[in-house]
């Protein structure tokens, strides 16, 4: 009953200049810090000042990336907004906590509270684009974007003539990264972008970004690719079996894949999962990484889809992203597999 959905446009804000026309990872911006904030485009190009003044980073990144996606798809309106965000508008949440801890009982500024709610990016999109249709926000940790993608597949099966704006967004906070550090999530030694994927040091590089897509069930001359299926699983005992079963359910063998995108982020504690897959199930495929250039956040997997669409378009995998020496004649069908800290596993099957 679920049918493939076609992607007609995409937009990405990240710690690389992905929002610049023509940029495709041939040159990378390097960082030696953790966390790494996203690069800011000229938000005023798309967002009126009166709106912009009350938009936190999540909202402005989401709106800008959405405008890029709509521009590429050549459309000016959409029927539904479906988003994912692991942590929502983190900085405003922190700000309101800080205000109330310091001055509970006195007048508190309401704006950080309003803008702390997780649905604010999707709401800003609806408001700014005048979209009164279906509007959803998933907050499913590192599988938030995948939930939004799955909902888009269902929604378009229910409403085959409509167009969906779909995406993921996450921002950094100021205090929260300190908490992550205490919890042992962050990388210290070797905290660099591009991150060495040599299984040597633990931890991830925290980053932020927004990636949005225009999707429908209609193919057009503007189509960048299509998503056939997505699956998530909180815990997986045997990742190769999980992936093999997913492929089987979708009638695709590993031979029929032209490349695989893997979520290695340089965290020595969990990258072994990808190593095992690279040595077994995917040994004969070009293996592509992305988190070592974009950092880690809950919805960064949306950037993998952005990259896959770029690879289809360019028919070329940037050298900066390749993990092995295997080459492929054509680039028509790519599988994305990621997990974070050993959980929130997901697979996404994409075709040109």
Partner 1 sequence: MSELTQELKAKIITQLNLEDLTVDDLDDHTPLFGDGLGLDSIDALELIVMLDKSYGIKLSDPKEGRKVFETVQTMADFIEANRK
Partner 2 sequence: MIPTAPIAITGMGAISAIGNHVTENFRSLVASKHGIGPITQLDTYHRGRLLVGEIPIGNAELYDRLHLSPEVACTRSTLLALLAAKEAMEAAAFQPGDGYRTGLISATTVGGMDATEQYYDDYLISEKHQPFIQTHPCGYAAEQMGRYLGISDFVTTISTACSSAANAIMLGARMIRAGLLDRVLVGGTDCLSRFTINGFNSLMIYTDSHCRPFDENRNGLNLGEAAAYLVLEAAEVAKRRGKSPIAYLTGYGNANDAFHQTASSDNGEGAYLAMRKALETARLNPTDIDYVNAHGTATPNNDLAEGNALLRIYGSASALPTFSSTKAFTGHTLAAAGAIEAVFSLLALQHQVVFPNLNFSQPIASLGIIPQTELREKKIAHVLSNSFGFGGNCSTLLFSKDHD
Applying CB under 8 A, which part among 227-235, 245-253, 259-267, 310-318 lies near partner 2?
227-235
Which pair of structure tokens corresponds to residue 289? 């990484």
The CA distance from 89 to 316, in Å, is 35
**Using rule CB under 8 A, residue 76 touches partner 2:** no
| 249-288 footprint of partner 2 as x/- string (CB under 8 A) | ----------------------------------------
CB 206 within 8 A of CB 185: yes
Q: How far is the CB of 260 from partner 1 (least distance, A)?
A: 45
Choosing from 119, 265, 287, 346, the residue that interacts with partner 2 (CB under 8 A) is 119
Which of partner 1, partner 2, none sits in contact with 96, Cβ below 5 to 8 A by type?
Answer: partner 2
Residue 323 and residue 220: Cα distance in Å, rounded?
33
| Structural element, H or E, at residue 13 | strand 5-13
* 182 binding partner 2? (CB under 8 A): yes
Structure tokens at 241: 């079996």
50 binds, among partner 2, partner 1, none (CB under 5 to 8 A by kind): partner 1
Element (DSSP H or E) covering residue 59: helix 57-73
Distance of alpha carbon 66 from alpha carbon 154, whole angstroms: 21
Q: Contacts with partner 2 in 44-73 (CB under 8 A)?
A: 54
Residue 175: contacted member of partner 1, partner 2, none (CB under 5 to 8 Å, by partner type):
partner 2
Catalog residues that contact partner 1 under the rule CB under 8 A: 49-50, 53-54, 106-111, 114
Q: Token pair for residue 50?
A: 């009166």
Closer CB to partner 2, residue 33 or residue 111?
111
Helix and strand numbers (H, E) in the chain are: 11, 10
Site string for partner 2, 228-247 (x = CB under 8 A): ----xxxx------------
Name which of partner 1, partner 2, none residue 40 binds, using a CB cut-off of 5 to 8 Å depending on partner kind: none
For residue 218, which phi and psi values (nearest 5 degrees)?
A: -100, 130
Angstrom distance (rounded) from CA 269 to CA 273: 9
Shortest separation between residue 172's beta carbon and partner 2, angstroms? 14
C-beta separation of 13 from 306 below 8 A:
no
Q: Draw the binding track, 283-312, toward partner 2 (x: CB under 8 A; -: no contact).
A: ---------------x--------------
Residue 102 sits at φ, ψ, to 5 deg, of -85, -35
Within 10 angstroms of residue 158's Cβ, the number of other Cβ atoms is: 10
Q: Is 88 left (phi over 0), alpha (psi -120 to 50) or beta?
A: left
Interface with partner 2 in residues 147-166 (CB under 8 A): 147, 150-151, 154, 157-158, 160
Distance from C-alpha of 168 to C-alpha of 136, rounded to nearest angstrom = 12
Q: Which does 53 bind (CB under 5 to 8 A by kind): partner 2, partner 1, none?
A: partner 1
Give dist(CA 250, CA 350) in Å, integer. Answer: 11
Judged by the rule CB under 8 A, the positions of this chain that interact with partner 2 are: 1-2, 54, 81, 86-88, 93, 96-98, 100-101, 104-105, 107-110, 113-120, 122-124, 126-127, 129-141, 143-144, 147, 150-151, 154, 157-158, 160, 175-176, 178-180, 182-183, 232-235, 298, 343
């Amino acid at each position: 009953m679920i049918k493939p959905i076609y992607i007609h446009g995409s937009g990405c804000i990240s710690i690389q200049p992905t929002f610049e026309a023509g940029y495709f990872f041939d040159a990378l911006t390097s960082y030696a810090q953790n966390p790494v904030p996203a690069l800011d485009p000229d938000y005023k190009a798309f967002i009126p000042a009166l709106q912009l003044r009350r938009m936190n980073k999540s909202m402005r990144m989401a709106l800008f990336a959405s405008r890029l996606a709509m521009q590429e798809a050549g459309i000016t309106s959409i029927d539904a907004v479906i988003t994912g965000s692991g942590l929502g508008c983190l900085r405003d949440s922190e700000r309101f906590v800080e205000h109330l801890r310091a001055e509970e009982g006195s007048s508190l500024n309401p704006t950080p509270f309003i803008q702390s709610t997780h649905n604010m990016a999707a709401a800003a999109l609806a408001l700014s684009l005048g979209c009164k249709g279906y509007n959803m926000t998933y907050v499913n940790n590192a599988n938030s974007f995948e939930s939004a993608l799955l909902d888009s597949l269902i929604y378009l099966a229910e409403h085959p003539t409509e167009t969906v704006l779909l995406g993921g967004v996450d921002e950094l906070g100021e205090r929260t990264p300190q908490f992550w550090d205490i919890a042992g999530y962050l990388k210290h030694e070797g905290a660099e972008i591009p991150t060495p994927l040599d299984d040597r040091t633990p931890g991830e590089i925290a980053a932020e970004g927004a990636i949005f897509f225009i999707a429908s069930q209609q193919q057009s001359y503007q189509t960048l690719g299509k998503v056939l299926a997505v699956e998530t699983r909180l815990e997986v005992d045997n990742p190769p079996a999980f992936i093999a079963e997913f492929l089987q359910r979708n009638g695709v063998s590993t031979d029929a894949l032209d490349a695989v995108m893997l979520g290695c982020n340089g965290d020595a504690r969990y990258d072994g999962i990808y190593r095992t897959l690279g040595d077994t199930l995917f040994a004969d495929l070009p293996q592509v990484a992305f988190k070592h250039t974009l950092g880690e956040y809950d919805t960064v997997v949306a950037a993998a889809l952005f990259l896959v669409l770029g690879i289809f378009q360019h028919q070329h995998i940037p050298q900066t992203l390749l993990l092995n020496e295997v080459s492929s004649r054509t680039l028509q069908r790519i599988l994305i597999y990621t997990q974070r800290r050993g959980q929130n596993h997901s697979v996404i099957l994409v075709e040109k």
